[in-house]
Amino acid sequence: MRDNPATQPLTEPAQASAEDGLVIMDGPDGFAVTLTPEAARITGQRLIEAGNIAHRHRVSEGSGD
């Protein structure tokens, strides 16, 4: 993943807004996605869970925040 700049992880958090009953996420480098409220809630929960797991992994390797 680190060889291709297009696949580098984003370091800036995305912004989220609600418009016309949909959730719009905008991030750096043109990242954008529109979700239904249900999909946004599930995605948010999954992101939190994955973020916690990834954070624990980094901390256990000694490279945590």
Neighbouring CB atoms inside 10 A of 23's CB total 19
Type of residue numbered 48: I
Q: What is the pLDDT of residue 65?
A: 60
Which pLDDT tens digit goes with each residue over 4-47?
666 788 899 999 999 999 999 999 888 899 999 999 999 999 99
Rounded to whole angstroms, the Cα distance separating 42 from 9 reads: 21
Q: How far is the C-alpha of 17 from the C-alpha of 25, rounded, in Å?
A: 7
d(CA 32, CA 40): 13
